[in-house]
Amino acid sequence: MKACFFCAFGGPEVLQYGDLPDPLPAAGEVVVDIHAASVNAADWKMRAGRYGRIDFPHVPGRDFSGVVAALGEGARDFKVGDAVFGVCEVPREGAYAERIAIRQEILARKPASLTHVQCASIALAGLTALISIEDTLELKAGETILIHGGAGGVAGFAIALAKHLGARVVTTASAANPSEFGDEARNPLELAYALTVHKTQGSEFGITFLVLPNPCWLLSRELLYTALTRHRDRLVVLHQGPVAEFRRFAGEEHSEIARRMTNLFADPLPREVTVGTATRFLEEGLIHRTERGELVRSKSELVIADKLHARGVDYAYEQPLVVGDGRVRYPDFTIADHARGVTYYWEHLGLLDDPGYRARWARKRADYLAAGIRPHEDGGGPEGTLIESRDDPRGGLDAAAIARLIDTVVFVGD
């Protein structure tokens, strides 16, 4: 049979088109002659090696539609000639080919009203929405759900399912996509257009269903905050790639507000910063930039960074640290003293009067202790020394105390 396949991980250039042996059905499997297959983000991730080891040659592709061509032993759900569609089971794929052998339990009969091309686009996105709406959310009639990115594949199915269940659906869409949801006279949905970062501020929904593609060119810190804080009861996030990658949007370099030069009482002071491979200009008065030129989250961290820099201490800001059962923590500052064989992890605690913040810090501190990272007051631990600094009760910071902490604990120049 003809197939598109690859024999090594890499970019699009590793894809080959040629002949491979026809698949043979195992017990309970059927062979399907593929008439249409769709392309999903998972396809290039598999090709790039994102999902671990696989056997080569590997035929990618998960969604397909076609006609049953042969039956394996014990396969009785279909007969030869039946039109079917389905989705492959990870890590087994194979839709980029003329034929595929697959378990009969994960096939469905193709509706006569739909073409093979239409059916080939249903399974993966549709199942993602179905599992999220019915199994994870257990959405009920009369509930309100906010679904972001309503023009997307998964979101489109989620909207239809939610309406079918009798829920009130609100969705966001860009100005380019309003026609996806009907005209003004018979629009079945309420549209909350995500044109400004505060468009849905003040709104509350029982359930928010958030889809985060990666990359997401329109996403900003303020828009992400808005999306994550509009629910009363439940929030479901479907994210593409590691969720930790979205931490970068907490930085001021991803702030839409910081890019606005709208001070009516003083001249703007634009400052050029680098974001990945691009540059952008942020208002100096709305960011915290260290002497070293990096952006930090608070004025307190700005003071600490500059005090370390002034004393010649090399530090890493929010460097990932794997602790415990594989969880990743992000110390404010990591200081590696290679000469003495000691690594310091500095955490500044600015909101300990907030119960939620205090509880999160207690969990993070417990992870440090379990990983063998202990406070400097206790002499440190076998895996590192924890330095803790705090704002005073009024929210201020004693810069001189920070300097003394550096001089007495880190022992620069000792």
Global pTM?
Answer: 0.49
Residue 255: strand, helix, or coil: coil
Beta bridge partner(s), residue 145: 169, 207
Number of H helices, E strands in the chain: 8, 21
- Phi, psi torsion values for 123, nearest 5 degrees: -60, -55
**Cβ 333 vs Cβ 304: under 8 Å:** yes
| Residue 200, pLDDT score | 47
Candidates 271, 265, 230, 239; CA nearest to 253 is 271
In angstroms, the CA 89 to CA 339 distance is: 51
pLDDT in tens, the chain (414 residues): 999 999 999 989 999 999 999 999 999 999 999 999 999 888 888 898 888 788 899 999 999 999 999 999 999 999 999 999 999 987 789 999 999 999 999 899 999 999 999 999 988 888 888 988 888 888 888 888 888 777 788 888 998 898 898 888 888 766 555 444 444 444 444 444 333 334 445 556 677 777 787 777 667 777 777 777 777 777 888 887 777 777 777 766 677 666 665 555 556 666 666 655 556 566 555 567 788 877 787 888 889 999 999 999 999 988 889 887 778 888 999 999 988 889 999 999 988 888 888 888 999 999 999 999 999 999 999 999 999 998 887 778 888 999 999 998 986 444
**Cβ 35 vs Cβ 116: under 8 Å:** yes
**Cβ 258 vs Cβ 295: under 8 Å:** no
Q: Per the structure block, which two tokens stand in for 10? A: 């890499």
In angstroms, the CA 273 to CA 283 distance is: 10
Where helices occur in 263-337 by DSSP H, the ranges are 299-310
Sheet containing 29-37, strands listed edge to edge, beginning at the edge strand earlier in sequence: 99-103, 29-37, 63-71, 83-87, 107-109
Strands (E) located in 73-230: 83-87, 99-103, 107-109, 144-147, 168-171, 190-191, 205-212
Q: Per the structure block, which two tokens stand in for 143? A: 């509930």
| Residue 113, pLDDT score | 92
Contacts of 384 (CB under 8 A, 6+ apart): 342, 343, 344, 345, 371, 372, 373, 374
In angstroms, the CA 46 to CA 241 distance is: 12
| Cα angle: 277, vertex 282, 287; to 5 degrees | 110
| Residue 236, pLDDT score | 81
Diameter of the chain measured on Cα atoms: 81
| Residue 258, pLDDT score | 62
**Cβ 101 vs Cβ 89: under 8 Å:** no
Beta bridge partner(s), residue 85: 65, 108
In angstroms, the CA 46 to CA 233 distance is: 35
Q: Per the structure block, which two tokens stand in for 32? A: 């399907």
Candidates 245, 246, 192; CA nearest to 221 is 246
| Residue 223, pLDDT score | 76
Candidates 91, 83, 23, 93; CA nearest to 63 is 93
In angstroms, the CA 176 to CA 122 distance is: 23
| Residue 187, pLDDT score | 43
Beta bridge partner(s), residue 334: 316, 345
| Residue 40, pLDDT score | 86
